[in-house]
Amino acid sequence: MHTWPGRSHPLGARYDGSGTNFALFSEAAEKVELALIADDGTEERVALTEVDGFVWHAYLPEVGPGQRYGYRVHGPYEPGDGLRCNPAKLLLDPYARAVDGQVDGDESLYSYRFDQPDRLNTLDSLGHTLLSVVTDPSFDWGGDRPPNRAYHDTVIYEAHVRGLTMTHPALPEEIRGSYAGIGHPAIIEHLTALGITAIELMPVHQFAQDGYLLERGLSNYWGYNTIGFFAPHNAYSSSGTRGEQVTEFKQMVKALHAAGIEVILDVVYNHTAEGNEKGPTLSLRGIDNAAYYRLVDGDAGHYYDTTGTGNSLLMRHPAVLQLIMDSLRYWVTEMHVDGFRFDLAATLARQFHEVDRLSAFFDLVQQDPVISRVKLIAEPWDVGDGGYQVGNFPPLWTEWNGQYRDTVRDFWRGEEATLPEFASRLTGSADLYQHDRRRPLASINFVTAHDGFTLRDLVSYNNKHNEANGEDGRDGESSNRSWNCGAEGATDDPAVLDLRHRQQRNLLTTLLLSQGVPMIAHGDELGRTQQGNNNAYCQDNALSWVDWDLDSAQQELLGFTRALVQLRHAHPVLRRRRFFRGTAGGEGLGDLVWFRPDGQQMQDSNWHWDEARAVTVFLNGEAISEPGPHGERIVDDSFLLLLNGHYEPLEFRLPPAPFGEVWQVAVDTATEPDRVDETEVKADGSVRLQARSTLVLIRKVGGQR
């Protein structure tokens, strides 16, 4: 094998059309060998003798795309000092663009012996671990360009590659559960008909399976177990050809972009699949453990964990920051994705122990000319001390608004004293975001997500039912702010079913008519159920997959959701870029006015009634103070939102004539979507709202007042 010195930059394996340059960072290494893996599983080792700035490198002119490889790092194995080099472990390149195979849980993956944990395990992990693959970067993107959707025009759809596509009848069997399945016209048609502008894919970075799950006949379905930050997960490729997952992923992005849909990736940069000191040695641990991971001060044999997964990346080390930024930049520039949702993002802000919004990571993102221009969404918490940081991320970022989720659930299940906070969540959560001049668009509003109950289960179960996970109910959140509407789980009681359908419509209406950016969890528009399992992370089966065989109630819910999204897209007053000011606007009326059910304006004391569970909201479409895209004045229809969270029907009196003389019903959650009463309602008139229901009225621009 001919070997040339090569270059220390860029890191990873880079094919240039003639050969491949290999570069690996390791400050702990005393010797590094590149292992080239043949088709028969044998290896040829090439010593990397060139070292610059702790980067070991070489250029191999005879190596090209499809070549599988790994690294063997020689150096000290002194766990008590944080050093865990072990050349018996074939290590995945942290910069690998594609990965072949999967870990199988064999003892050879671990650097300690199962029978004698204090002794070094010299069993060779080749044949039991992941292999890096050299890829060809060429791809015909044609006229692909990012949709560049503004946040106020965005509707996000959180989806799982397998979960969304595994049972769709229009998809050929061979592409179900794959990137090709997501990019298939049938899935894209569903997304576009629903009005989705961005699909947020649950983790697609290469992840590893957990040995304890494999032993129970389960698997890591969600994928929050990343080991390869540059590689699309190989099990989501329909090809099976080595390295083809990269091309298939790009084809998916290209197809979604052609339909005007952005691609956002749920990324896990806070930890890796190697876990704590008892976990396997797959990549970073064997390359330079002390550089990549946070270790306990004064006890470097253990990991400082703020993620609940066993380890946390060391966010103050330059190699870690470079790895993350290089990865983000790669997915934008070469894979054409449009943004990222950062799992447990508070961990990324921990340079030391506390969460610091001025951390080096945020500084790097802020000044990066590529990353700073895409959508950046934080899950603004982790499991460490002080980790709940909703409302505290820098202005460039948006956040999953966990307070929105909790408050909306509480209001509709009938909790007392929720109305004031519900009003804040409905109008963009100014209490969380306005203090540092952020806008309503900083709030990613959601009622359900992958973690927890589905929308249907939220109104069907009081308690989690996670028996299938095999953990005796210890897993998953026990406090779900759910309500089963009178019966636990499946029922034939028509009154219970009617209430459940109405509650789903109430929650969707609230979500899609709230200021901020709405996110729908895949299948919620179809009434998807997980039979009460609120932690289906290990259920890669029909329990978690979207069932596309819809009954009449599910078809009606789909039609209702589509109509809501269309209503939102059609009306700027429902997706404002700036907070309401509460001041006079069009015709001297406030841009936002609150009314009691008796038609009188809300007074400060009214908000604090424990029994206050109903309100009318006036949204003035003729008082939108923000300019349009070309500086023009935005004028829209005006709306009344009548919300009855009470357990009894209530009579609502409409506001007096200055606010509008004639109103038309746009949404009524107490009726099925195709039976909305479009009878006009006049000022000072009364309408009777069914218990726990929403009525949305519209007044056309310039309509008679």
CA distance 138 to 129: 28
CA distance 29 to 284: 12
With b for 16 or more beta-carbon neighbours within 10 A and e for fewer, the 464-498 pattern comes to bbbeebeeeeebbeeebbbbbbebeeeeeeeebbe
Q: Which amino acid is at 474?
A: R
Active site residue 636: no
The closest of 219, 234, 309, 235 to 539, measured between CA atoms, is 219
DSSP 3-state of 59: strand
CA angle at residue 65 from 60 to 67, to 5 degrees? 70
CA angle at residue 388 from 505 to 232, to 5 degrees? 75
- Sheet of strand 50-52: strand arrangement: 12-15, 20-25, 55-60, 50-52
* Chain mean position to CA 666: 31
Token pair belonging to 138 = 């060429």
Measured CA to CA in angstroms, residue 72 lies from 28, 39, 90 at distances of 13, 19, 5
Contacts of 134 (CB under 8 A, 6+ apart): 13, 15, 20, 63, 64, 65, 66, 67, 68, 69, 97, 243
Token pair belonging to 543 = 């329990």
Catalytic residue among 379, 524, 540, 556: 379
CA distance 424 to 407: 10
- Supply φ then ψ for residue 355, to 5 degrees: -80, 125
CA distance 258 to 260: 5
- Supply φ then ψ for residue 137, to 5 degrees: -75, -10
According to DSSP, residue 648 is labeled S
SS (H, E, C) 254-297: HHHHHCCCEEEEEECCCCCCCCCCCCCCCCHHHHHHHHHECEEC
CA distance 284 to 289: 6
Label the pairing between strands 156-159 and 198-201.
parallel
CA angle at residue 166 from 445 to 501, to 5 degrees? 45
Residue with tokens 């028509």: 494
Is the sign of the CA dihedral 466, 468, 471, 472 positive or negative? positive
Query: How many Cβ atoms are within 10 Å of 702's Cβ, its own excluded?
Result: 10
* Chain mean position to CA 166: 20
Catalytic residue among 343, 524, 540, 556: 343
Longest CA span, the chain: 88
SS (H, E, C) 358-420: CCHHHHHHHHCCCHHHCEEEECCCCCCCCCCCCCCCCCCCEEECHHHHHHHHHHHHCCCCCHH
Ranges assigned E (strand) in 412-555:
443-445, 517-521
Cα end-to-end span (Å), the chain: 85
Ranges assigned E (strand) in 155-236:
156-159, 198-201, 205-207, 226-232
Active site residue 343: yes
Token pair belonging to 227 = 């080991």
Ranges assigned E (strand) in 434-574:
443-445, 517-521
Catalytic residues: 343, 379
